[in-house]
Structure formats: structure tokens, C-alpha cells
């Protein structure tokens, strides 16, 4: 692995100026071959102070919040267009940073550009409410930006996760400090460059890089008014504790252990590839991965054979190749973590129906590859059935009937998403309503729309992103009473 000490440090953005950072620089590693692709500057407490100060000044001068809604929208449209015009290069930046396939990275650039356009239109068409008066006055409820928002994100899909933070936060009139994961920081720096190119006023968007402590400094900084966070449940919980102490509002998008449910009356020609993609696409490194597959006992053996067949043909390979289904995992240490979970499942008595061993030979020796893996023969109490693995590992569990299924599927501390495969539309509706999850897919999985609110029940989060509500959550409501006497 090259040391990379000779590489220039990639700076981050404060007040529309590039800053190398007072912290110790770190490497961004390509998980396909372990090479260092860039050295990234790390923010010191002083840099965090500088970024928050710039965002606060920009907020207080109202250079952004006082723009007319359609004027703010214009810059958001421009960001979307700039992303589209450089989409191929930016897709490849994410591919090198976190190992996602080119197909997925291209789709994510398109989705991120649409996110900026969607919130431009939400911003432009936003309405104020006139509430019925109860006396000789009139009342109006206006929505105003919260102020300075810290947006902290995970490594698995920086393109879309960061767009889902920046677009609504900015549309609402806030200023922002974005902090991406240390494991995949490059896209946040691409967004910083696009913000400069689009012509945002100084201090409106600031981007800092570094590890978790940079995130913690942001959360605890008195100049930050609100936190938007996407990441693991444990981190979310410590952020919520700090925010609770400081009385700062939070939106938390956290982990999942989502059930994907196949009834005996499902069309298996669709349900097998649908459930397989639900867990294996993106190497299972997706918050909504359908990692607990529940199958009605009458079709269990047939289903497992079909899933096994699918998993064995799921092509691991270089993420840039058109026929690759799954690239490497994000890092070698994450692969070790996934492997340990599989071992724990085997120790608890699982049968390894597919995968479970890192591939060897050729380019596989250099990268953090891990195969599509299926564990059967467990009951829902095993650690692998309860904890988020965040890798391409499915546990397949049988159920007797609808009642048994609902009990098992809801027996989880998480509640992010779920899938139901059945040809009985009444049952589909009943089960969808009974599942404690923020998103339920019926006869499909992982289809997402920026217009539909997204978030988790239980330990999977607090609040909702996306949709009009996704912008409202970064606003404060103010009731104004105007006497007519």
C-alpha cells in the first residue's frame, strides 16, 4: 500500500475558502485494491469553530435566509444541473471512495441531482398558513429557518445522503456545516466545489472533514442550532443525549434490521430476485437492507434453493465493470466485522447455505470483497438475527401464519423498513399496516422516492427526511397575531 505521504492534502471549505485543516490528515482508501486515493485534511477544534462562525455570520446577515424563496430555488436548481453536467466523473469518485458499483453510483448522481431540483420546487411552492381567528385579530403561521445546522452523514451512500441533507436544509433558509464520514469523505468535497461554482454566498455551505470527534465538536458547539444525522444507532443515541442536554432539535436516520416477508402465495419468480437484491445489492451496506428474510414454512425449502442459486450467481468483481453485481465492502476492517458476524451465526448453530468465506485469487486478494451469504437454521434470538451487520448476509427464517409472522417481524429493536411479497391484496394491506416500520414495500423492495417521507420507528430514528416534511423539519413555526381593534 503506498504511504501517500507525498500526496497534497485535499482541503475542505469554510466561508467559501479552501482550508487544509489543523488536524492530522488522513487517507482515503480505495477498497477495491487498498490504494490510497487522496490525503484528506482534518478539522481541528479551531477549524470547527471557524466553520460554525462562518455559518452563523451568513445566517445572521440573512444573505441566504432573506432571499426570496424563488431566488434560493434558483441556486438549488443550479446545483442539480452542475451535478448532472459532471455526473460520470462524480460517480467514479464515489466508486473509488466506497466501492459501490458504477451502475449504482451513476443512479445515485441522478437521484442526488433530482433531490436538489425537488427541494428547489418545494422551496418555490411553499405556502404560509392563515389559521381561523377566535377574536378580533388575524393569525398567520410563518415558517422560519432554524439557523445553523450541522449535517453529519454515513459512508455508504454519500452522494444521496449528503444531497438529502443539503437540499432541504438550504431550501429552508438555513446555513450548514456538512461533515461526511472519514471512510468516504470525497463526495462532500465535490459538493463543496459545486457550491462555489454555483455561486452560493460565503458561509452558507461549509464542509469539514475528519473523524467522529469532528462530528462531536459540531454537535456540542453552542453556535449550532440543530443536527441532522445519518448513521449508526449507537452514534445516533449519543448525539441525541448531547442534543437533549443542550436542547437542540435533531433528525436522526439510523440503522435497521428489516424483515422481507414471503408468503406462500407470492410469485417466487419475482420474490426471489426481489429479496436477494434487497439484501445483496450494495453489498448489504444499506440502512434498508432486507436482512431478515421470513418465508412461510410451506415454501421454505423451495425458496431457500432459489435464493441459494441467486446468491451463487451474484457476481463480485471490480465495481467499474458493467456485469459486476457487487463491488468490495467499504473497508478491510468492515469486512472483518461482517466475517465475525457470520462466525457468530455459525457458532449459534446456523447452516451456511451460501458464501461466508472471503474470495481469494486475482484481484480479490487486494480488495475488501465478501460474497453474498445466506444463513439458515437459526431462530430469531441469535445475534445475527437481531443486530445490524451492514453486509451481504441474509438470515432466512420460517413462519407459520400471518399472526406468527407479524410477531416475529416486529420482534426487533429496529423499525426502518420492511417488504411483503404476496398475491393477496387484502393480506398485503393488513400486514403492511401491522408492521412497525417507516417504509413498507409490497411486491417490490428498495424503491425510493424523494417525495415520500422516510425514516424509522423505534431505534431506527427520530423524525422524517424527504418530502415537504423533510424541509419543514429544518424550520421553526412562528404564530403571529395581528389585532384588528
Residues designated catalytic:
253, 287
When asked if residue 461 is in the footprint of ligand NDP (CB under 6 A), the reply is yes
Q: Nearer to ligand NDP by C-beta: 417 or 428?
A: 417
When asked if residue 253 is in the footprint of ligand NDP (CB under 6 A), the reply is yes
When asked if residue 325 is in the footprint of ligand NDP (CB under 6 A), the reply is no
User: Chain-centre distance of CA 419, in angstroms?
Assistant: 18
Distances (CA, A) of 325 to 53, 154, 272, 275, 370: 44, 22, 16, 15, 12
Cβ atoms of residues 340 and 391 within 8 Å: no
Q: Binding residue for ligand NDP (CB under 6 A) from 16, 32, 65, 230?
A: 230
Stretch that binds ligand NDP, among 190-198, 224-232, 266-274, 398-406 (CB under 6 A): 224-232
Residue 251 beta carbon to ligand NDP: minimum distance, rounded to whole angstroms: 10
When asked if residue 98 is in the footprint of ligand NDP (CB under 6 A), the reply is no
Stretch that binds ligand NDP, among 73-81, 95-103, 225-233, 292-300 (CB under 6 A): 225-233
Residue 36 beta carbon to ligand NDP: minimum distance, rounded to whole angstroms: 17
When asked if residue 239 is in the footprint of ligand NDP (CB under 6 A), the reply is yes
Site for ligand NDP in 274-303 (CB under 6 A): 287
Q: Nearer to ligand NDP by C-beta: 285 or 308?
A: 285
- How far is it, in rounded angstroms, from Cα 55 to Cα 177? 7
Burial of 453 (0-12, 13-18, 19+ CB in 10 A): middle
When asked if residue 156 is in the footprint of ligand NDP (CB under 6 A), the reply is yes
Residue 362 beta carbon to ligand NDP: minimum distance, rounded to whole angstroms: 29
Q: Nearer to ligand NDP by C-beta: 82 or 418?
A: 418
Cβ-closest residue to ligand NDP? 215
Q: Which three cell numbers mark 307?
A: 435464493
Residue 226 beta carbon to ligand NDP: minimum distance, rounded to whole angstroms: 14
Q: Nearer to ligand NDP by C-beta: 212 or 377?
A: 212
When asked if residue 331 is in the footprint of ligand NDP (CB under 6 A), the reply is no
- Give the number of other CB atoms < 10 A from CB of residue 34: 16
Site for ligand NDP in 349-388 (CB under 6 A): 388
Q: Please work out the total of residues on this chain that contact ligand NDP, with binding judged by CB under 6 A.
A: 32
Residue 413 beta carbon to ligand NDP: minimum distance, rounded to whole angstroms: 12
Q: Binding residue for ligand NDP (CB under 6 A) from 256, 284, 356, 470?
A: 256
Q: Binding residue for ligand NDP (CB under 6 A) from 52, 76, 120, 154?
A: 154
When asked if residue 255 is in the footprint of ligand NDP (CB under 6 A), the reply is yes
When asked if residue 112 is in the footprint of ligand NDP (CB under 6 A), the reply is no
When asked if residue 219 is in the footprint of ligand NDP (CB under 6 A), the reply is yes
Q: Nearer to ligand NDP by C-beta: 173 or 455?
A: 455
Site for ligand NDP in 197-216 (CB under 6 A): 211-212, 215-216
Site for ligand NDP in 299-318 (CB under 6 A): none
When asked if residue 231 is in the footprint of ligand NDP (CB under 6 A), the reply is yes
- Give the interface with ligand NDP as residue ranges (CB under 6 A): 152-156, 161, 179-183, 211-212, 215-216, 219, 230-232, 235, 238-239, 253-256, 287, 388, 390, 416, 456, 461
Amino acid at each position: 500500500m503506498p504511504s501517500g505521504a507525498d500526496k497534497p492534502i485535499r482541503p475542505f471549505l469554510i466561508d467559501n475558502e479552501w482550508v487544509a485543516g489543523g488536524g492530522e490528515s488522513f487517507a482515503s482508501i480505495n477498497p477495491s485494491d487498498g490504494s490510497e486515493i487522496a490525503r484528506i485534511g482534518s478539522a481541528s477544534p479551531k477549524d470547527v469553530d471557524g466553520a460554525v462562525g462562518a455559518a452563523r455570520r451568513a445566517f445572521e446577515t440573512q444573505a441566504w435566509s432573506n432571499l426570496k424563496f424563488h431566488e434560493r430555488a434558483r441556486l438549488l436548481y443550479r446545483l442539480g444541473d452542475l451535478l448532472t453536467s459532471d455526473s460520470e466523473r462524480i460517480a467514479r469518485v464515489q466508486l473509488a471512495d466506497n466501492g459501490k458499483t458504477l451502475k449504482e453510483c451513476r443512479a445515485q448522481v441522478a437521484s442526488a441531482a433530482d433531490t436538489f431540483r425537488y427541494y428547489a420546487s418545494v422551496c418555490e411552492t411553499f405556502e404560509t398558513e392563515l389559521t381561523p381567528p377566535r377574536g378580533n385579530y388575524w393569525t398567520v403561521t410563518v415558517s422560519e429557518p432554524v439557523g445553523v445546522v450541522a449535517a453529519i452523514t454515513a459512508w455508504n451512500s454519500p452522494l444521496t445522503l449528503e444531497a438529502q441533507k443539503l437540499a432541504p436544509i438550504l431550501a429552508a433558509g438555513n446555513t450548514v456545516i456538512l461533515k461526511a464520514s472519514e471512510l468516504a469523505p470525497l463526495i462532500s468535497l465535490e459538493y463543496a466545489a459545486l457550491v462555489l461554482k454555483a455561486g452560493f454566498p460565503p458561509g452558507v455551505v461549509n464542509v469539514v472533514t475528519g473523524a467522529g470527534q469532528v462530528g462531536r465538536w459540531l454537535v456540542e458547539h453552542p453556535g449550532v442550532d440543530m443536527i441532522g444525522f445519518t448513521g449508526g444507532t449507537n452514534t445516533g443515541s449519543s448525539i441525541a443525549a448531547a442534543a437533549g442536554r443542550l436542547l437542540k432539535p435533531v433528525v436522526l436516520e439510523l440503522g435497521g434490521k428489516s424483515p422481507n416477508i414471503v408468503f406462500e402465495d407470492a410469485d417466487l419468480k419475482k420474490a426471489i430476485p426481489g429479496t436477494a437484491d434487497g439484501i445483496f445489492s450494495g453489498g448489504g451496506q444499506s440502512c434498508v437492507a432486507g436482512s431478515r428474510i421470513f418465508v412461510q414454512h410451506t415454501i421454505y425449502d423451495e425458496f431457500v434453493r432459489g435464493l441459494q442459486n441467486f446468491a451463487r450467481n451474484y457476481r463480485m468483481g471490480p465495481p467499474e465493470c458493467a456485469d459486476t453485481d457487487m463491488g468490495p465492502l467499504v473497508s478491510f476492517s468492515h469486512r472483518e466485522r461482517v466475517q465475525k458476524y457470520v462466525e457468530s451465526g455459525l457458532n449459534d448453530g446456523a447452516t451456511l447455505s451460501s458464501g461466508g468465506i472471503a474470495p481469494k485469487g486475482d484481484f480479490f486478494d487486494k480488495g475488501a470483497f465478501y460474497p453474498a451469504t445466506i444463513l439458515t437454521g437459526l431462530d430469531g434470538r441469535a445475534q445475527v438475527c437481531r443486530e445490524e451487520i451492514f453486509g451481504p448476509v441474509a438470515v432466512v427464517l420460517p413462519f407459520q401464519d400471518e399472526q406468527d409472522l407479524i410477531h416475529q417481524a416486529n420482534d426487533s429493536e429496529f423499525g426502518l423498513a420492511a417488504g411483503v411479497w404476496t398475491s393477496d391484496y387484502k393480506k398485503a394491506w393488513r400486514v403492511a399496516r401491522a408492521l412497525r416500520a417507516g417504509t413498507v414495500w409490497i411486491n417490490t423492495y428498495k424503491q425510493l422516492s424523494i417525495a415520500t417521507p422516510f425514516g424509522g420507528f423505534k431505534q431506527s430514528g427520530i423524525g422524517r427526511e424527504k418530502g415537504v416534511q423533510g424541509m419543514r423539519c429544518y424550520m421553526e413555526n412562528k404564530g403571529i397575531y395581528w389585532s384588528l381593534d
